[in-house]
């Protein structure tokens, strides 16, 4: 074996893993069942319900808003049509009199 081979063997000597490695492996072979406290389940359900109610209310609000805007637009269009109609009548009347 030459010097370089010896250096390589020395550099690649086996090393033990950090202390407690075996325990950490064994702990992972028996995964503990996750216990979620009942309180947190209650909080999670309440949060879900609140979120659902909020979403429902928001959709209702959006619907009402859209309805209001549509009515306003129709009203506006109606008044514009009335003005245009009056102008046409006026023009027709003038044409007949002239």
Partner 1 sequence: MPGLESNFAAAVRQHQAMVFSIALHFLHDHAFAEELSQEVFLHLHKNLKAIQSPSHLVYWLRKVTTHRCIDQARRQRLRPRVSLTEYLERAPEPAMTGPTADPILAGFLQKLIASLPKRSRIIVILRYQEDLEPSEIAETLDLPLGTVKSSLHRSLALLRGKLERERKGVPR
* Residues binding partner 1 (CB under 8 A): 4-5, 7-18, 21-22, 24-26, 28-29
Per-residue DSSP letter, 19: T
Residue-by-residue DSSP string for 20-72: THHHHHHHHHSPPPP---HHHHHHHHHHHHHHHHHHHHHHHHHHHHHHHHHHH
Q: What distance in Å separates the CA atoms of residue 65 and residue 51, rounded to the nearest whole number?
A: 21
Please state the closest distance from residue 8 (CB atom) to partner 1, in A: 4
Which is nearer to partner 1, 10 or 95 (by Cβ)? 10
Please state the closest distance from residue 24 (CB atom) to partner 1, in A: 6
Which is nearer to partner 1, 20 or 37 (by Cβ)? 20
Please state the closest distance from residue 32 (CB atom) to partner 1, in A: 15
Which is nearer to partner 1, 12 or 34 (by Cβ)? 12
* Rounded CA Rg of the chain: 41
């Amino acid at each position: 074996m030459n010097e370089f081979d010896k250096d390589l063997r020395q550099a690649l000597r086996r090393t033990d893993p950090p202390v407690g490695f075996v325990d950490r492996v064994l702990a992972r072979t028996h995964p503990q069942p996750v216990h979620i406290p009942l309180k947190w389940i209650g909080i999670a359900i309440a949060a879900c319900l609140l979120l659902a109610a909020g979403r429902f209310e928001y959709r209702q609000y959006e619907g009402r808003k859209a309805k209001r805007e549509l009515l306003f637009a129709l009203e506006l269009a109606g008044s514009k049509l009335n003005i245009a109609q009056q102008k046409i009548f006026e023009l027709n009347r003038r044409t007949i009199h002239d």
